[in-house]
Structure 1
Amino acid sequence: MTAKPQSETELFERAQSLAGLSLGELAHREGFAIPKDLKREKGWSGQLLEWCLGASAGSKPIQDFPELGIELKTIPIDASGKPLESTYVCITPLCNVTGSTWHNSNVYNKLSRVLWIPILAERHIPLDQRVVANPILWSPNPQQEQLLRSDWEEIMEMIAFGQIEQITARHGQVLQLRPKAANNKARTSAIGPNGQLIQTLPRGYYLRTKFTAALLQDYFQL
């Protein structure tokens, strides 16, 4: 595995050095087996890039580069630079949420500084031929943070009041909460409508594509 980057600049330069390379070229270089498709290995592209860049967090609920305070997010795009899907942020707690604040939330932690790596990944392009694009180092501006915070606070209030089953993907302007589980049998504890604990599917936060599309457009225009 690549050594940990020692600074934000070093990390960004490493990411820039990957731009223009295909996932197949990177996989061969690093000795990664290439799956036939991503149906069973949805996170493969991200794991490959984490390896190439020296990320140390693994599956822990912390930033990918905790010493630098930076999260890595790959984002599949089409030829015009538009994201092809929403972006997973993190799992959310569904009980013991009283006293949670935006600034101590994992969503804030994950999105305070992000290294975005777009990948040209239209459906018709074979996995090994998908190409890494130019990276973006991003922190939310005040307007973006306000939108994220407002959505997070609204959703967390519903969770705290036992309304988890009423939350749908339609809630939130830029941030949405959706089931996040390997299958429909996974269960976790949540606050029920009368304050009791119930069992429900784990939930994760996702950034809507309109948010990431605007973010990418800002940078690519620059």
Structure 2
Amino acid sequence: MKKALNSPASIDELMQRAESMAGLTLGQLANYHEIEMPKDLKRHKGWVGQLIELELGALAGSKPEQDFVHLGVELKTIPVSRTGKVLETTYVTVAPLTDIQGLTWQNSVVCHKLQQVLWIPVQGDRDIPLAHRQIGSPILWRPSAEESYLLQQDWEEIMEFISMGQVNKVTARHGEVLQLRPKAANSQVLTDSIGKDGQLTQTNPRGFYLKTQFTQRILSQLL
């Protein structure tokens, strides 16, 4: 495997790298980095994102900070169909289920990560072999006042359920643009959370995800 590229020194350099990657296939990029391609993504869900991170020189990995923290930019790959339709919700971060006293939207990881996002669309149609899927043109996005308001509103509503020990009442239908969903390999994985009486109880880990209607709107506005 080739050594990862140095992290870009500026947003301009980051965008140049992202733009020069547009039009390449995942197979071409994997060959360049001497990385073995999985047959499919069933057991390698994060593989595409990791490949793009390597090419762009992202630093954070799975840390709860932006991928290019020195530039204030989060990187998100997003699978789209041939017609530009967003195919999946977008994972943002693990949801805190304990020690949330004093936590506000402004100091939350969700708010921090979504301050500025570099979206990299990638073909995700299942009938296109993984190696032949093309990388699209990059989009650098900052939430508008309205988008920030919607995100904050959903986050606060979901966090209120968590703080009241009602995390199990939150479904993927909650929230207009942001949703809470189980985030674990299987339902056997458990973590601490606030119970109804304020005591700790056990539940499945949860993650915050952006709904597809929201990311579709972002891509449609900026493409």
Q: TM-score range by the shorter chain?
A: over 0.9
In the alignment, structure 1 residue 51 sits paired with structure 2 residue 54: yes
Equivalent in 155, 162, 165 of residue 162 of structure 1:
165
What is the Cα deviation at residue 194 of structure 1? Answer: 1.0
- Listed one character per residue, the Cα deviations across residues 166-189 of structure 1 (whole Å, up to 9, x for unaligned) are 111111001000000012221110
Which secondary structure does the structure 2 equivalent of 1:11 belong to?
helix
In the alignment, structure 1 residue 192 sits paired with structure 2 residue 208: no
What is the Cα deviation at residue 127 of structure 1? Answer: 0.5
In the alignment, structure 1 residue 129 sits paired with structure 2 residue 129: no
**Structure 1, gaps ≥5 residues long:** none
Equivalent in 92, 101, 105 of residue 102 of structure 1:
105
What is the Cα deviation at residue 64 of structure 1? Answer: 0.6
What is the Cα deviation at residue 121 of structure 1? Answer: 1.5
- RMSD over equivalenced CA pairs, Å: 0.6
TM-score by length of 1: 0.98
TM-score by length of 2: 0.97
What is the Cα deviation at residue 86 of structure 1? Answer: 0.5
Query: Residues of 1 paired with 2:54 and 2:71: CA distance?
Result: 16
What is the Cα deviation at residue 58 of structure 1? Answer: 1.4
Query: Residues of 2 paired with 1:150 and 1:166: CA distance?
Result: 18
In the alignment, structure 1 residue 25 sits paired with structure 2 residue 28: yes
Partner of 2:219: 216
Runs of 4 or more, structure 1, over 2 Å off, are none
Query: Residues of 2 paired with 1:54 and 1:142: CA distance?
Result: 30
Query: Residues of 1 paired with 2:167 and 2:123: CA distance?
Result: 35
Partner of 1:118: 121
How many residue pairs align between the two structures? 220
In the alignment, structure 1 residue 84 sits paired with structure 2 residue 119: no
Which secondary structure does the structure 2 equivalent of 1:66 belong to?
coil
